[in-house]
Amino acid sequence: MRPQRLNPLFAAASSLPGIGAKLERALGKLFGRDEAGARVVDLVFHAPNGLIDRSFRPSLDQLPEHGIVTLEVEIGRHRPPPPHNKRVPYKVDCFDDTGSLSLVFFHAHAAYLLKTLPPGERRFISGAIEWFNGVPQISHPDHILSAEEFAAMPAVEPVYPLTAGLSAKVLAKAVQASLDLVPDLDEWQDPAWLKKKRWPEFAASLGTLHHPHALSDLEPDAPARARLAYDELLANQLALALVRRRMKRASGRALRGNGEVSQKILAALPYSLTASQRLASDEIHADMAKPERMMRLLQGDVGAGKTIVALLALAQAIEAGCQGALMVPTDLLARQHFANLEPLARQAGIGLDLLTGREKGKVREAVLGRLASGETGILVGTHALFQQGVEFRDLALVVIDEQHRFGVHQRLALQAKAGDATDLLVMTATPIPRTLSLTLYGDMDVSRLTEKPAGRQPIDTRVLPLQRLDEVVDGIERAIAAGQRAYWVCPLVEESELVDLAAAEDRFAALGTRLAGQVGLVHGRMKGPEKDAVMERFKSGEISVLVSTTVIEVGMDVAEATIMIIENAERFGLAQLHQLRGRVGRGSGKSRCLLLYQEPLGETARARLKIMRETEDGFVIAEEDLRLRGSGELLGTRQSGVPTFRLANLIAHGDLLAAARDDVELILARDEFLTTSRGEALRTLLYLFERDEAVRLLSSG
């Protein structure tokens, strides 16, 4: 149960004065809580991204050309617009001993302005100065204050990120009201650590965050900001450590094999394993042989050979007399894996089956029968593997491919379904920077594949403007005549599958007129069998160009494809461009990737394309992607599994993340169930940053 004193923070934002239904909807949109609704805590942790300095107080004869000014003036004549002409603004003359200026209001209420700006009285006005026909004016001043009100106004005012339907003044007022509800909380940080870092206490840090004295107070390394970032990172790492401890404590079992099945697989391979494949395999096999449950992440760049490492792990489960499952995010990828693994499984004597949402009726019943009897050693499929009615005889190892497509919460749910004793191996071909890896997979051990298998070809990457499209099509025509095959990926239009599809269809039609009968089209709205048929035609060489939306990002493996063209490449994230490029360079032929961009290019897009041209190292690319885009969008699109930090910045606070991980190890070594006074305060921290699940794990032992 959440501590009662935190309940006001988790009340709806509409419980704050002045926040009605309309403003609550706007706040929900701002905080990404459209359906669930904004809460008080969302405002407490809504950090300013700038500030306005209102300390500049010139006389009217010393006004600058532009900028924020704060003026002490006497109110003069009101000049309302002529009746029935709303386009003319309402003006109020103001003056001091040195000159005059106008206050300008559009769609004004005269009675309100007469009450706020009474002629003959003195007022303090703050806002952005403008000049109209050589005359100074301020349109819709930010502040109109009496002397008493001005005395209470801070010289520096925070600026918050906004959304449509929300004004800066209303948001600032709501944030202040939310801060008044923050209770006194016991300190959860180590006093010696706070003293060493010279960090203020939690409440004082929040005060400085929302009432900065200078721009430096908003910098990531400012004491108050760093303190709050560390609180958030500590909550993240503590929650992951508790999940990890719980999973490790669950009754695992030792899965020891005799190596017979693994040796048959290795003998059937046309190549030898790389050094990093051998090392990763050794780490996984050693984990599986221990009585504790395995929880390991296998990270490998595109084409690094993760699938074989996973198959060897599954072989060890079979040697131990058990079963394994390989779960992937899409039907297409499941079929791809099944096709690639089937010859190896057959030679090793492993019963291999496929189960996705498309297996129905008698086919599905037959698969379920073989699974229940143990005839099936490895089941490949989508999340359909863990639907009701799917019963394994003895499931000992679950391998999840492209984990980031599922999200952390789904992984935890899956572990629960798979049973306490089941070992877990998670794979991703999206290289993840160390800082993000700690926040996403802090509950797991990590193995990395850092080499490409022998025979992988380097990919010649070129960057060209879309104005040269005709030359590119001419080049494709020549390449096809020489027997090559090409992917053509169409622009990504965020959250608009229909527009993506329209772009792909247009390109398919245009290429079809030049290359009649040689072009195929695949997209996410096609039915599975239809998509498979087009893919098969491309794989067999019946067609030479495959026009596609990003559906081919994961799962296409055609060794004969040597050209990748990405249209409007500036719209894609680095990780996604890297994934797409990895679809070529898989055979013996020289491979090329053409990144076509629309001019003019923004600074970030230019940096992104430059990195793609300079390196094929996915880990270098991932670090750069994190720097350019931030963690929220690192994995191509916003993924449900990526924790979004409100106060921490993984780029600026990477060193704090490592410190938080070390801190958590010490905390749990001394106070396993968080029962000391600091432990109780840390439980409050977990609730405050919405890691309730971790507290429940504590209470269940």
The DSSP letter of residue 604 is H
How is residue 535 written in tokens?
């893919």
- Check if the beta carbon of residue 585 is closer than 8 Å to that of residue 458: yes
Neighbour tally for 290: CB within 10 Å: 15
CB atoms within 10 A of CB 475: 16
How far, in Å, CA of 86 to CA of 106, rounded?
8
Show the tokens assigned to 124. Answer: 């303090």
User: 408 φ, ψ to 5°?
Assistant: -60, -45
Q: Are 395 and 388 in contact (CB under 8 A)?
A: no
Neighbouring residues of 601: CB distance < 8 A, sequence distance ≥ 6: 570, 609
Taken in order 607, 610, 615, 616, the sign of the CA dihedral is positive
Q: How far apart are CA 102 and CA 124, in angstroms?
A: 14
How many other C-beta atoms are found inside a 10 Å radius of the C-beta of residue 534?
19
The series of mean pLDDT values per 10 residues for the chain, 701 residues long, is 92 92 89 87 94 91 93 95 88 95 92 95 95 93 92 87 86 94 96 96 96 90 96 92 76 86 93 92 95 88 85 96 91 87 94 90 92 95 83 91 60 60 84 70 80 77 94 94 92 58 84 91 83 88 90 65 93 84 81 93 89 86 74 40 73 88 94 94 94 75 48
CB neighbours (10 Å) of residue 67? Answer: 11
What is the pLDDT, as a whole number, of residue 641?
Answer: 42
> CA-to-CA distance for 212 and 1, rounded, in angstroms?
34
- Cα-flanking dihedrals φ and ψ of residue 489, to 5°? -95, 130
Contacts for 654-659: CB closer than 8 Å, 24+ residues apart: 654/434, 654/435, 656/226, 656/229, 656/230, 656/233, 657/233, 657/237, 657/435, 657/438, 657/439, 658/438, 659/230
Name all domains of the chain by residue range, CATH numbers in brackets.
Answer: 4-51+176-218 (no CATH), 55-153 (2.40.50.140), 260-449 (3.40.50.300), 459-615 (3.40.50.300)
Helix axes 654-670, 677-688, angle to 10 degrees: 140
Contacts for 459 with CB less than 8 Å, ≥ 6 apart: 564, 581, 584, 585, 591, 592, 593, 616
Please state whether beta strands 143-145 and 100-105 pair in parallel, antiparallel, or not at all (unpaired): unpaired
Is the distance from CB of 301 to CB of 431 less than 8 angstroms?
Answer: yes
Q: What does each C-alpha distance from 313 to 89, 99, 372, 392, 674 come to in angstroms?
A: 75, 83, 21, 18, 36
Within its chain, how far is the Cα of 260 from the centroid? 42
Residue pair 500/523 in contact by the 8 Å Cβ criterion: yes
Reduced to 3 states (helix: H, G, I; strand: E, B; else coil), residue 503 is helix
End-to-end CA distance of the chain: 15
What H or E segment, with its residue span, contains residue 337?
A: helix 331-348
Could you give the CA distance from residue 590 to residue 460 in angstroms, rounded to a whole number? 8
Amino acid letter, 181: L
Structure tokens given for 318: 């079979």
How far is Cα 602 from Cα 80, in angstroms, rounded to an integer? Answer: 45
Sequence length of the chain is 701
Per residue in 446-464, is it b (16+ CB within 10 Å) or e — as a string?
A: bbbbbebbeebbebebebe
Angstrom distances, CA of residue 639 to CA of 313, 409, 636, 644: 28, 11, 8, 10
Cα–Cα dist 202/205, whole Å = 5
Neighbours of 74 (CB within 10 A): 15
Angle of helix 331-348 relative to helix 306-319, nearest 10 degrees, comes to 50
523 Cβ neighbours under 8 A, 6+ residues apart: 500, 501, 504, 548, 549, 551
For 21, what's the count of Cα atoms within 13 Å in the CB-facing half-sphere? 0
Q: What is the pLDDT of residue 632?
A: 43
